[in-house]
Every structure is written in C-alpha cells, then in structure tokens.
Amino acid sequence: MQLLEDGVPLAELSIERIARTAGVGKATIYRRWSGKEELFVDVLRAAEPPDPELPGTSMRDDLIVLLESLRRRGLVSRASAILHNVYVQMKSSPRIWAAYHASVVAPRRALMLEVLRRGQRDGELREDIDLELANDMFVGAMLVRTTMRPQGDLPEDLAERIVDATLAGLRPVSSGTTSH
Amino acid sequence: MQLLEDGVPLAELSIERIARTAGVGKATIYRRWSGKEELFVDVLRAAEPPDPELPGTSMRDDLIVLLESLRRRGLVSRASAILHNVYVQMKSSPRIWAAYHASVVAPRRALMLEVLRRGQRDGELREDIDLELANDMFVGAMLVRTTMRPQGDLPEDLAERIVDATLAGLRPVSSGTTSH
C-alpha cells in the first residue's frame, strides 16, 4: 500500500521491491503468495469493503444487499485516488486482471447467479428469463454508474430502486402486454 | 492509425510525431485539430461504427437500435486488438477520456434520454421512473457485456432481449404486485 501511495506504477511493483520496502526477505513473501499477482489481489481485497452477508429472506432482499455492496465498493474507489488508480492500471495488466477476476469477480458473479436461481425456484423471478441476462440487468445498471461515470450520482437508495424497477419493469402498468 | 498499429503508446503519440509520420508539417495538423486529444478522438470515431439512424416508430424500436449500436461497437472493439488497446489506454488518460466523453459519450447519452423522454410522453414508459435510472438499466445491461466481460456472449438478438425484458420486468406476471 505504501508503494502504491507513493505512486509506483503496477508494472514496477516487483516482489523484490515489495520485500525490500517491507524489510523482509523475498522468501517470506513467497511463503504466502505464489506471485506478484496473487499478492496484489490480496492487497486490493484488504482495501475493499468485505463481501456482504446475505439476509436470505427473499431474492429481492439478497439482490439489494449484493447491489448495495457494489455501490459501496464504488464509493470507496471514488474516495481513494490510489484505489481508483489501481483499478485503472489493473485493467491494462491482463495477468493481474485475471487473478482479480478469478478471486473477486467470478465468486461474486457465482453468488449473484445462485441468488437468482433460488429466486426463480421460489417464484420471485420469471421462469422464462435467462439468468445471465437477469444478472446483467441488475448488476449493469449499478456498474455503469460506479465504474463508467465517475461523476454519477450514487444515492443511498440506488440498490433498492434498481432492484424494484428491474423486477417491476419500465412499461406503464395499464398499457402492458401482460395477460389482463 | 499506423502509429497505433505499430504499438506506440498513447502517451508517446505527440502531434510532432504524428506530423512526421504523415509527412506533413505540424501547422497542417493544427489547422484541423486544436490538440492531440481532439485528433485522437476523431481517429477513434473513424474506426468505430457510425451512429445509428433512429427509426422513430416507437420508443422500443429506437431503444433496440441504440443498444444494437453499442453491441456492434463492442464487437468491433473485440475484433480489433488496436482499438481495444486504445480504449484501455484512453481510460488512464483523463484529458483524452474527457475529449472522447464530450464528443462521443455525452451526445449518445443525450440521444438516449431524448428517446426515453418521448417514450414517457407517449405512454411507452412508466411516468414515475427517473429517466437517468431508466437509461442506466437499458444501457448498463449491454455495456456490462461489451466492456467488462471480454468473453461475454453477444448474440444477435441481445439488444431486443434487453429492451423487452427491461420493459416487461423480471417479476413473474401472476405474482406481481401490480393492481389486479
């Protein structure tokens, strides 16, 4: 974190340099991390808010908690110039991005799909909807604000509004093509 | 484009170097572009698919055309290693990103909001929905696949499926909380 705060580019963050800065031998580092990528992902995870506990009361409640955690992650990234810079650099390093994806993004996505699958089983989600598409609809609306629009508004009730609007649909109720 | 194809990083693409490569004087470049950022954005726009014509037949039709153009842009970016690399680099250059945002992203977003506003006026979109939120719901579901998931499936009917699912909502029809 000290090296990142000092503005050292990711490409120059070698295990050797990290060990030197931490005042330990390289062997000490390698005992816990198999490489620079793994160490780096752990540093990032330590700086990010922890993964949320799902209430499990309903699909809607779980989805709101999951989207809320994306919103918080966005707020943290905006508040920290270092973290923001790290995300941007990470995207241009395929190996680090792959490590971050495997240990953070993929499990989060799997959890999201699991929540949707339960919701479909319990009658909270349309049966004819593709779960991947449903995932992207819920998650995309939040991510487009947190990651693509640095000035985008992130109000406290955003997760709830996205979940409810996505469940209810944007078509006016009276003129819908539903069967009534 | 030649310099980008040769793998020259964005940071090293000076007007001087571009002029030298093109075999013209710097003054010739400055007659058309006020700076490196503006020139660069024009290069990108030339490589991207042109903005779509809206059919204007309904909000749904217009939205599908707008999302389809995002899908095509994603396909082009995936097919071109240069273009993809340029997008990634652009994100880490605040000045170039700002220029691209002002001339490409902002007008596209304004057009999208205009389509939604017309839809709301014509009774195709719920009156109580915030247009910014509606925009993010339609656009986010597409962008999460085109820009955040390099391996994500981009089937031909994706735009239509996103628009229809977002309009109809993901809640099962029979157990909805609509007034019937």
**pLDDT tens for the 180 residues of chain B, in order:** 888 878 787 778 889 999 999 999 999 999 999 888 888 888 888 888 888 899 999 999 999 999 999 999 899 888 887 777 777 777 777 788 888 888 888 899 999 999 999 999 999 999 999 999 999 999 999 999 998 887 789 999 999 999 999 999 999 986 445 443
Of A91, A134, A143, the CB nearest to B140: A143
CA B101, CA B41: separation in Å to the nearest integer?
9
- The answer to whether residue B140 is domain-embedded is yes
Q: Which residues of A touch B74 (CB under 8 A)?
A: none
- Tokens representing A141 are 């609306």
In a domain, A21, yes or no: no
A–B interface: beta-carbon pairs under 8 A: 135
Q: Which residues of B touch A162 (CB under 8 A)?
A: 133, 136-137
Which residues in chain B have their CB less than 8 angstroms from residue A102's CB? none
C-alpha B132/C-alpha B126 separation (Å) is 13
The whole-angstrom distance between A30's CA and the closest CA on chain B is 31
Residue B17 inside a domain? The answer is: no
Please list the alpha-helical segments (H only) found in A48-169. Answer: 59-79, 81-91, 94-100, 106-121, 131-146, 158-168
Which of A153, A169, A167 is closest to A71 using CA atoms?
A: A153
Round to whole Å and give the CA distance between B2 and B25: 17
Chain B interface test: which of A132, A136, A151, A177 (most B C-beta within 10 Å): A136
Tens digits of residue pLDDT in A125-171:
999 999 999 999 999 999 999 988 877 899 999 999 999 999 999 99
Name, of A18-32, A101-115, A158-172, the range with top average pLDDT: A158-172
CB atoms A148 and B145 under 8 Å: no
ipTM rounded to 2 decimals? 0.84
Tokens matching residue B19? 């002029």
Assess if residue A3 is contained within a domain. no
Q: Closest partner residue to B126 among A91, A142, A171, by Cβ?
A: A171
B18 located within any domain = no
In a domain, A160, yes or no: yes
pLDDT more than 90, % of chain A = 54
Task: Check residue A171 and give its pLDDT.
Answer: 96
Query: Least CB-CB distance to A171: which of B88, B136, B167?
Result: B167
**Which 3 state secondary structure label does DSSP give B174?**
coil
- Residue B157 domain boundaries: 35-168
User: Structure tokens of A150?
Assistant: 């640095």
Q: What backbone torsions phi and psi does residue A115 show, to the nearest 5 degrees?
A: -60, -40
A64-106 residue pLDDT tens: 999 999 999 899 888 887 777 777 777 777 788 888 888 888 8
Residue A174: pLDDT band (50, 70, 90) is low
pLDDT of amino acid A88: 74
pLDDT of the residue at B179? 43
| Distance from the B112 Cα atom to the nearest Cα atom in chain A, whole angstroms | 15
Q: What is the pLDDT of residue B38?
A: 85
Closest residue of chain A to B159, computed from CA coordinates: A133
Question: Cβ atoms within 10 A of the Cβ of A111, count?
Answer: 15
> By a Cβ cutoff of 8 Å, what residues of chain A touch chain B?
88-89, 91-92, 123-127, 129-130, 132-134, 136-137, 139-145, 147-148, 153, 161-162, 165-173, 175-180
Tell me, what amino acid is at B78?
A: R
Quickly count: other Cβ atoms within 10 Å of residue A64's Cβ: 22
Please report, for the domain that includes residue A51, its CATH number: 1.10.357.10
**Average pLDDT value over all residues in chain A:** 88
Q: Do B91 and A91 touch (CB under 8 A)?
A: yes
Contact A172 B124 (CB under 8 A): yes
pLDDT value of residue B109 = 92
pLDDT value of position B174 = 66
CA–CA min distance A38, chain B (Å):
21
- Sequence-distant (6+) residues with CB within 8 A of A71 are A142, A146, A154, A158, A159
Banded pLDDT at A179 (limits 50, 70, 90) = very low
Instruction: Please indicate, yes or no, if residue B94 is contained in any of the structural domains.
Output: yes
Please measure the distance between the N-terminal and C-terminal CA atoms of chain B and give it in whole angstroms.
59
Answer for the pair A36, A128: CB distance below 8 angstroms, yes or no. Answer: no
CA distance B144 to A150: 16
In a domain, B10, yes or no: no
Check if the beta carbon of residue B111 is closer than 8 Å to that of residue A108: no
Domain count, chain B: 1
